[in-house]
């Protein structure tokens, strides 16, 4: 179905503002039914897991999805508030046919969305999403009452996932004497992440662990790590860990209060795997991954492959090259030799294990990589345009690339969600980068106006 555009599914499920179509109870009822029709096509009842983050609308959508799935004859197992990567893991271990996540990740409470995992704990393939959309256009029916799906609750889901996380690092490793700030963004890891690190011996200072349905990602978490950074300095902690609302992003802070982003964390894990002899295939980043990471990996003899922006595309390229490690600057890190999707807790444990093995601080471990300054400017456009089809814009880009030489990088791309052309220039010299980015943005604006 190449070239055919999906109506509802984006690169990361279905997402929007609560109460605005399609993020409404009636649509979720129909979505549950449509998904159930696809999942039940083998003619027997299958289990589908449903988990959610802590935003208040999750209760409403959980009930709607449950009713729709039951109407199609599918059994449901409810997990309650659980991180997205936990739902992927539990879908595999319970041998469920699919897992459903009710979450809008790092967005505010007034947004919500739906993500699906296959029985392998991977994002659904396009052909299944297309099939679900086909059923969304059909009249809703209900199976005979004797064939209706049943719902049950899994009471030990949190404990199962905590044990899984701990098992992703070797058993001799413990974190006794380590003082760490853990920021759960008032999200779905609030009752899990602190326990993982405490059970491995760390002294945990908790942030963002009092969800009220409205405060998810509000001034805390991976997208707003300033409170975590301040707490690390005030408490003289060894480092800080910030997760986002659904637990698939990780940003860390070292003992000096310096932010350690996804690119730096991927570099640390890559070097760890390389030294252990377990780094397989290239490391996969995105078009936005810092050039400093690429150069640092090159010095280790490791190749960086760049996928389109989005963890879905990172995973697709990792599968293509049979890679074990990939990630984004935003903190989506996929350790494919440990789990099937981006997992903030698991990624943090891999970094902490390397600190333990090397007997080095996070600040010391990140020293092998120099982050290059990046300047991103958004150029507004009236209507969607393929920037690659405008010769004058490409000429201006080539001129900037010549000026940067091998010490920099230029990216022009259309936003997938807004009427914008994103202009990104990256290089060693911040002043030069900012000047060239403004120059290129001006040239792109002129080209679009012509």
- Which residues are catalytically annotated? 105
- How far is the C-alpha of 335 from the C-alpha of 279, rounded, in Å? 10
Angle between helices 126-136 and 25-39 (to 10 degrees): 120
74 token code pair: 């599918």
Query: Strands of 408-414's sheet, edge to edge?
Result: 374-380, 420-427, 408-414
First-to-last C-alpha distance (Å) of the chain: 36
Label the pairing between strands 304-307 and 333-335.
unpaired
Q: Which helix (H) or strand (E) holds 81?
A: strand 75-81
Q: Where does 221-380 have alpha helices with state H? A: 226-235, 262-276, 291-299, 311-321, 344-358, 362-365
Judge contact between 384 and 288, C-beta under 8 A.
no
Dihedral (CA of 330, 355, 336, 263) sign: positive
| Residue carrying the six token digits 């905590």 | 162
């Amino acid at each position: 179905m190449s070239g055919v555009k999906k109506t509802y599914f984006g690169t990361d499920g279905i997402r929007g503002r609560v109460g605005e179509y399609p993020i409404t109870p009636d649509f979720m009822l129909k979505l549950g039914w449509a998904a159930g029709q696809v999942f039940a096509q083998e003619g027997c009842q299958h289990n589908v897991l449903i988990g959610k983050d802590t935003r208040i609308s999750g209760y409403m959508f959980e009930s709607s999805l449950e009713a729709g799935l039951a109407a199609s004859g599918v059994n449901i197992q409810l997990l309650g508030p659980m991180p997205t990567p936990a739902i992927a893991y539990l879908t595999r271990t319970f041998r469920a046919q699919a897992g459903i996540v009710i979450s809008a990740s790092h967005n505010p409470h007034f947004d919500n969305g739906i993500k699906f995992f296959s029985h392998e704990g991977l994002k659904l393939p396009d052909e299944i999403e297309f099939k679900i959309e086909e059923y969304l256009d059909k009249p809703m029916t209900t199976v005979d009452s004797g064939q209706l799906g049943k719902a049950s609750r899994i009471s030990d889901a949190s404990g199962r996932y905590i044990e899984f996380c701990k098992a992703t690092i070797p058993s001799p490793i413990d974190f006794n004497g380590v003082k760490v700030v853990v920021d759960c963004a008032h999200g779905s890891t609030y009752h899990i992440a602190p326990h993982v690190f405490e059970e491995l011996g760390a002294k945990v200072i908790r942030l963002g662990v009092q969800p009220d349905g409205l405060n998810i990602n509000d001034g805390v978490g991976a997208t707003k790590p300033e409170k975590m950074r301040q707490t690390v300095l005030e408490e003289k902690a060894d480092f800080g860990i910030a997760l986002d609302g659904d637990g698939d992003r990780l940003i860390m802070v070292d003992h000096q209060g310096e932010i350690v982003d996804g690119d730096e964390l991927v570099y640390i894990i890559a070097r760890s795997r390389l030294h252990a002899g377990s780094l397989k295939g290239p490391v996969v980043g995105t078009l936005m991954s810092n050039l400093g990471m690429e150069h640092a990996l090159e010095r280790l003899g490791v190749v960086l492959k760049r996928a389109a922006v989005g963890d879905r595309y990172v995973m697709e390229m990792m599968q293509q090259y049979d890679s074990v490690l990939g990630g984004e600057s935003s903190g989506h890190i996929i350790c494919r030799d440990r789990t099937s999707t981006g997992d903030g807790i698991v990624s943090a444990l891999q970094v902490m294990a390397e600190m333990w093995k090397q007997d080095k601080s996070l600040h010391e471990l990140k020293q092998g990589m120099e982050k290059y300054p990046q300047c991103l400017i958004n150029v507004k456009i009236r209507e969607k345009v393929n920037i690659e089809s405008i010769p004058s814009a490409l000429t201006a880009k080539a001129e900037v690339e010549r000026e940067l030489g091998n010490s920099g990088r230029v990216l022009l791309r259309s936003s997938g969600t807004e009427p914008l052309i994103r202009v990104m220039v990256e290089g060693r010299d911040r002043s030069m980068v900012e000047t060239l980015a403004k120059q290129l943005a001006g040239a792109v604006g002129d080209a679009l106006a012509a």
